[in-house]
Amino acid sequence: MKYQEILESICRDVQSLAGLGKQADYIPALAKVNPDQFGICIHSIHGDIYSEGDADVPFSIQSISKVFSLAIALNLMGDDLWERVGKEPSGTSFNSLIQLEAEHGKPRNPFINAGAIVVADILLEKLPSPKENFIEFIRELSGNPHIDYNEEVARSEREKGYLNAAIANLLKYHHNLNGEIEEVLHFYFLLCSVEMSCKDLAKAFLAFADHKTHFSYHGVDLTSSQVKRINAIMQTCGFYDEAGEFSFLVGLPGKSGVGGGIAAVYPMRYSVVVWSPRLNQKGNSIMGMKALELLTTKTRESIF
Ligand code: GLN
C-alpha cells in the first residue's frame, strides 16, 4: 500500500474544510493555539512510519489521555474496575451530567469525563507516585523521554472547570470518589494536559494496535484480551455522541480529544494519529475526522 502518497492526497483533500469550526476555547490556554494546523502520522506494526504536515508539533492530547489512564486502571483493578464505571456507549456529550444523575453516580464508560474522573481517582489512590508513574508510562509507550504535562493548561482548565467540578461533586455524593474533590480534579486536568505530537501518539498507540505482542510498559502489564477490550471501548465510546458516526464513516477504533487530536488503530496493522484544532459541535476535529474517513476509503481498509 502506498501510504505516503495516500497521506499526501489526504492533506490536499482536507484543505477544502480549512477554516471551518473553531478550537476549544472553554479551556483558556487552548484558545491561544494556532487553529490552522494539520498533521497526520501512520505507524505500522512493522515499524514503518509515514507522516505529513505538522506531525512533529506537540499538542494538548486532552481526552486521548483517557486511553492511557484506562490501561493503568485495568492493570491495577482487573474486572473489578467495571463495578465503578460501565462499558456502554453514552450517546451523550463528553461532559454531560444528566445520565450520571439518572444512573446514581456510575458513569457509563471510562471515556466520558465522569468515567475518566473516577479512573483518575483510582490512579491517585493506588499508584505509589501517580503523577510520575503516569507520565513515565507514556514516555515508555512513545519512546520519548521529553513528553510532559503542561501545568498552565491544567491550571487554566481548573479555573473554568465548573462542569467537571459539578461531575466530581455528583460522583462524591454517590460514593464513587474516594479522594478529595480538588485533588482528583487537579490530577484529572493534569492527565488531560499532556502534550504529544502525532508521531509520539502514533508510536504510543502501536501498543494497542499490536495486541498480540505482550503489553508491558513501565509496570503496566495487560493481556491480549484486555488490550482488545480497550479497542472495543474505543470503538463504541471513543467519540461520545459521535461514536456511531465515526464507526460509520471511518470504521476504526479511536479516541478523540478537544485539543483536536484523534488516535485510531487498525488492529494488527497500524496506528494512525491526526491533529487539527478546529472542532465540530461535538468536540471532534473536523479535518481529523475527514482525513481518517478518506484514509479508510482510499485504502479500502477498515475493521469491517
Ligand atoms: N479536559 C477536557 C475536559 O475535561 C477533555 C475533554 C475532551 O478532550 N473531550 O473537558
192 in contact with ligand 1, CB cutoff 6 A: yes
* 91 pLDDT more than 90: no
The pTM of the full predicted model, rounded to 2 decimals, is 0.97
What's the gap in Å between 126 CA and the centre of ligand 1? Answer: 23
- pLDDT at residue 25, rounded to an integer: 86
**pLDDT grade, residue 286 (50/70/90)?**
very high
CB 179 within 8 A of CB 125: yes
**pLDDT grade, residue 92 (50/70/90)?**
confident
62 in contact with ligand 1, CB cutoff 6 A: yes
- pLDDT at residue 159, rounded to an integer: 92
DSSP structural state of residue 283: S
Q: What is the pLDDT of residues 64-84, one digit of tens each?
A: 999 999 999 999 999 999 999
What's the gap in Å between 240 CA and the centre of ligand 1? Answer: 11
What's the gap in Å between 123 CA and the centre of ligand 1? Answer: 18
Mean pLDDT on 277-302: 96
Ligand 1 pocket mutation, candidates 26, 62, 160, criterion most atoms within 8 A of CB: 62
Q: What is the pLDDT of residues 93-121, one digit of tens each?
A: 888 899 999 999 999 999 999 999 999 99
Nearest-CA residue for atom 3 of ligand 1: 113
What's the gap in Å between 257 CA and the centre of ligand 1? Answer: 6
- pLDDT at residue 23, rounded to an integer: 93
Quick one: cell of 174? Answer: 454517590
51 in contact with ligand 1, CB cutoff 6 A: no
- pLDDT at residue 95, rounded to an integer: 86
* 240 pLDDT more than 90: no
Cα dihedral 52, 265, 59, 90, rounded to 10, equals: 140
Q: What is the pLDDT of residues 37-46, one digit of tens each?
A: 999 999 999 9
Residues in contact with 172: Cβ distance below 8 Å, sequence separation at least 6, in sequence order: 181
Q: Which residue numbers are catalytic?
A: 63, 66, 188, 240, 258
Please give the C-alpha separations between residue 220 and each of 73, 116, 123, 223, 226, in angstroms, as whole numbers.
Answer: 9, 18, 12, 10, 12
Q: What is the pLDDT of residues 206-232, one digit of tens each?
A: 999 999 999 999 999 999 999 999 999
Q: What is the pLDDT of residues 7-35, one digit of tens each?
A: 999 999 999 999 999 999 889 889 999 99
What is the rounded average pLDDT for all residues in the chain?
96
Q: What is the pLDDT of residues 113-171, one digit of tens each?
A: 999 999 999 999 999 999 999 999 999 999 999 999 999 999 999 999 999 999 999 99
